[in-house]
Amino acid sequence: MSPALLLALLVVTLTLPRVQTLTCFWGSLMEVRNASELPLQWTTGQKNCEDGWGCQELLMLIENGPHVNVVIIKGCTQEANQEARVTHHRTDPGLSIASYTHVCRENLCNSLSTSLPLWTMPPTTGLGSLRCPVCLSAEGCLSAPELTCPAGSTHCYNGALLLSRGGLSTRLKVQGCMTQAGCNLLNGTREIGPISLRETCDPKDFLICHRGVMLTASQNLTQKPKEWTTSAEQLCDLGEVCQETLLLIHAGHRSLLLASKGCSKARTQAPQAISIHSRPPGVLVASYAHFCSFDKCNSASSSSVLLNSLPRLAAPAPGHLRCPTCVGIFGSCSPDIVTCPEGTSHCYNGHIAIQGGGLSSSSNIQGCVAKPSSSLLNHTRNIGVFAVTENSNRRDEGAAPAPYLAWMVWLGLSLAIWCGGPSLLIPLPLDSQPLLTP
Ligand SMILES: *[C@@H]1O[C@H](CO)[C@@H](O)[C@H](O)[C@H]1NC(C)=O
Ligand SMILES: *[C@@H]1O[C@H](CO)[C@@H](O)[C@H](O)[C@H]1NC(C)=O
Ligand SMILES: *[C@@H]1O[C@H](CO)[C@@H](O)[C@H](O)[C@H]1NC(C)=O
Ligand SMILES: *[C@@H]1O[C@H](CO)[C@@H](O)[C@H](O)[C@H]1NC(C)=O
Question: pLDDT at position 389, please?
Answer: 93
Judged against a pLDDT cut of 60, whether residue 6 lies above it is answered with no
The mean-pLDDT minimum among 65-74, 131-140, 162-171 falls in: 162-171
pLDDT for residue 217: 86
What is residue 14's DSSP assignment?
A: H
What ligand is nearest to the CA atom of residue 136?
Answer: 1
User: Per-residue pLDDT for 13 more than 80?
Assistant: no
Taking the CA of 189 as reference, the closest ligand is 2
How do residues 300-355 score in pLDDT, each as one tens digit?
999 999 999 998 766 778 889 999 999 987 667 889 999 999 999 999 999 999 99
Q: How far is the CA of 173 from the centre of ligand 1 (A)?
A: 20
Mutational pocket test of ligand 1: of 36, 136, 143, the residue with most ligand atoms within 8 Å of the beta carbon = 36
pTM of the predicted structure, to 2 decimals: 0.76
The reply to whether ligand 1 has any atom less than 6 angstroms from the CB of 52 is no
Q: How far is the CA of 332 from the centre of ligand 3 (A)?
A: 22
- pLDDT value at position 24? 95
Residue 276 C-beta-side C-alpha neighbours within 13 Å: 16
Atom of ligand 3 nearest to the CA of 218: 13
* Nearest protein CA to atom 1 of ligand 3, as residue: 220
Mean pLDDT of 136-164: 93
Does residue 403 have a cis bond before it (omega within 30 degrees)? no
User: For residue 416, is pLDDT > 80?
Assistant: no
Cβ of residue 92 lying under 6 Å from some atom of ligand 2: yes
Any alpha helices (H) in 252-395, and if so which ranges?
A: 304-307
Helix (H, G, I), strand (E, B) or coil at 369: strand
Q: Can you tell me the mean pLDDT for 142-170?
A: 92
**Measured between alpha carbons, how far is 105 from 56 in angstroms, rounded to an integer?**
9
Q: What is the mean pLDDT of residues 53-70?
A: 95
C-alpha closest to that of 271 among 295, 246, 242: 242
pLDDT at 123: 65
Question: Which protein residue's CA is at the shortest distance from atom 9 of ligand 3?
Answer: 220
Other C-beta atoms within 10 Å of 359: how many?
Answer: 22
Mean pLDDT of 44-64: 94
Q: Which amino acid is located at 349 in the chain?
A: N
Residue 423 pLDDT: 37
Strands 67-77 and 336-341: unpaired
Ligand 4 mean position, distance from CA 275 (Å): 12
Cβ 15 under 6 angstroms from ligand 1: no
Mean pLDDT of the chain: 83
Angle ∠(265,268,273) on CA atoms, nearest 5: 100
Residue 34 beta carbon below 6 angstroms from any ligand 1 atom = yes
Q: Is-cis flag, bond preceding 39, omega within 30? A: yes
Which range, of 65-69, 252-256, 415-419, 428-432, averages the lowest pLDDT? 415-419
Inter-residue contact 378 to 393 (CB < 8 Å): no
- Centre of ligand 3 from the C-alpha of residue 275, in Å: 25
66 lines ligand 1 (CB under 6 A): yes
CA proximity to 97, closest of 136, 132, 61:
61
- Burial of residue 216 (CB within 10 Å: 0-12, 13-18, 19+) is middle
pLDDT for res 239 = 86
- For the chain, give the percent of residues with pLDDT over 70: 83
Answer yes or no: is the C-beta of 91 below 6 A from any ligand 2 atom.
Answer: yes
Quote the CA–CA distance of 369 and 238 in Å, as a whole number.
44
Q: What is the pairing mode between strands 346-356 and 386-392? A: antiparallel
Residues 94-99, mean pLDDT to the nearest whole number:
96
Contact 363, 329 (CB under 8 A): yes
Minimum CA distance residue for ligand 2 atom 14: 90
**Cβ count within 10 A of residue 75:** 22
- pLDDT at residue 29, as a whole number: 87
How far apart (Å, rounded) are the C-alpha atoms in residues 360 and 354?
6
Question: Is the minimum distance from the CB of 157 to ligand 2 under 6 angstroms?
Answer: no
What's the chain's length in residues?
438
Amino acid at 327: V
User: Taking 90 as the threshold, does the pLDDT of residue 20 lie above it?
Assistant: no
- How high is the pLDDT of residue 283? 93
Q: Is 220 in the pocket of ligand 2 (CB under 6 A)?
A: no
Closest ligand (CA of 120):
2
Element (H, E) at 7: helix 3-15
Q: Which of 176-185, 188-197, 420-429 has the lowest mean pLDDT?
A: 420-429
| Integer Cα distance of 281 and 320 in angstroms | 13
The stretch 64-74 carries a mean pLDDT of 93
User: Which atom in ligand 2 lies closest to the alpha carbon of residue 187?
Assistant: 1
Q: In percent, how much of the chain has pLDDT > 90?
A: 58
pLDDT tens-digit readout, 265-294:
876 667 888 999 999 889 999 999 999 999
CA distance 352 to 365: 8
Cβ atoms 210, 230 nearer than 8 A:
yes
Q: What are the residue ranges spanned by the domains of the chain?
A: 23-200, 208-310+318-392
Taking the CA of 34 as reference, the closest ligand is 1
> Smallest Cα–Cα separation from 248: which of 270, 272, 268, 226?
226
Tell me which of 34, 38, 143 to substitute to probe ligand 1's pocket, judged by most ligand atoms within 8 Å of the beta carbon: 34
Q: Which residues line ligand 3 (CB under 6 A)?
A: 219-220, 223-224
**Cβ–ligand 2 contact at 188 (below 6 Å):** yes
Residue ranges with strand state E in 141-253: 146-150, 155-165, 168-178, 191-192, 195-200, 208-210, 212-218, 233-235, 240-251
What's the pLDDT tens digit per position in 228-270? 988 888 888 888 999 999 999 999 888 999 999 999 987 666 7
Among 219, 220, 223, 254, residue to substitute to test ligand 3 (most atoms within 8 Å of Cβ): 220
Give the per-residue pLDDT at 428.
33
**Minimal-distance CA residue to ligand 3 atom 10:** 220
Ligand 2 centroid to residue 187 C-alpha, Å: 6
**Mean of the pLDDT values across residues 407-433?**
32
